[in-house]
């Protein structure tokens, strides 16, 4: 079972390498990332979060109580458009357990990516999906919530994170009581 890389870790601040679509390992990596995403209750996971510095993301923003799983594997995803109002909302991250951080992002995003068979796709959305696409693609450029929020929110987030770590926060926790 793969483990989630937790901040601070230099892996989370590296610009990831493009995936080679002929790489047979990608399929296995994607599979274990999907598993890890659901196991930890996330709606997205990027390869650097499991210790692999490659441009690979898995997301599922349609999870409900039915238990139905529709993960999307995104190889070499690129945000090609963002638009709409810039909205600030609390985000969580499996690599920064125990806290949530207010992050301002355009509400709509469109991303282009390849599937594991090398076919090119586009996905677009606002709300959770739009936010998740931007959050996960940030990971591929070494940008975590700490780098994406305002300097003021960053100070608060770092202080909260220190407390959360001391309290033993686990990936998937967005608050520690
Ligand atoms: Zn994250």
What CATH number is attached to the domain comprising 29? 3.90.45.10
User: 100 lies in a domain?
Assistant: yes
User: 58 lies in a domain?
Assistant: yes
User: 130 lies in a domain?
Assistant: yes
CA of 84 to the centre of ligand 1 (A): 22
User: Which one of the listed residues 90, 122, 136, 147 is annotated catalytic?
Assistant: 136
CA of 136 to the centre of ligand 1 (A): 6
91 a catalytic residue: no
Which residues are documented as binding site? 93, 135, 139
Cα 80 from Cα 29, distance rounded (Å): 25
User: 117 lies in a domain?
Assistant: yes
Number of domains in the chain: 1
CB atoms within 10 A of CB 141: 14
User: 3 lies in a domain?
Assistant: no
- Each residue's pLDDT expressed in tens, for the chain with a length of 177 residues: 689 999 999 999 999 999 999 999 999 999 999 999 999 999 999 999 999 999 999 999 988 888 889 999 999 999 999 999 999 999 999 999 999 999 999 999 999 999 999 999 999 999 999 999 999 999 999 999 999 999 999 999 999 999 999 999 999 998 775
User: 173 lies in a domain?
Assistant: no
- pTM comes to 0.96
CB atoms within 10 A of CB 153: 18
The pLDDT score that the predictor gives to residue 51 is 97
Cα 166 from Cα 177, distance rounded (Å): 12
| CA 69 from centre of chain | 17
The pLDDT score that the predictor gives to residue 168 is 95
CA of 92 to the centre of ligand 1 (A): 7
User: Can you give the residue range of the structural domain that contains 152?
Assistant: 10-166
User: 177 lies in a domain?
Assistant: no
Which residues are documented as binding site for Fe cation? 93, 135, 139
User: 68 lies in a domain?
Assistant: yes
């Amino acid at each position: 079972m793969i483990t989630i890389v937790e901040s601070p870790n230099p892996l989370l601040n590296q610009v990831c390498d493009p995936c080679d679509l002929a790489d047979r390992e990608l399929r296995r990596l994607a599979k274990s990332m999907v598993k890890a995403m659901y196991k930890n209750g996330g709606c997205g996971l990027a390869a650097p979060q499991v210790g692999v510095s490659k441009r690979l993301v898995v997301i599922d923003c349609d999870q409900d109580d039915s238990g139905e799983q529709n993960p999307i594997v995104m190889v070499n995803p690129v945000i090609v458009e963002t638009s709409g109002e810039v909205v600030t909302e609390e985000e969580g991250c499996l690599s920064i357990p125990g806290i949530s951080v207010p992050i301002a992002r355009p509400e709509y995003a469109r991303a282009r990516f390849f599937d594991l068979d090398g076919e090119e796709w586009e996905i677009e959305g606002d709300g959770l999906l739009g936010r998740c696409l931007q959050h996960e693609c940030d990971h591929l450029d070494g940008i975590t919530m700490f780098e994406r929020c305002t300097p003021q929110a960053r100070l608060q987030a770092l202080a909260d994170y220190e407390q959360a770590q001391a309290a033993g926060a686990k990936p998937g926790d967005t608050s520690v009581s």
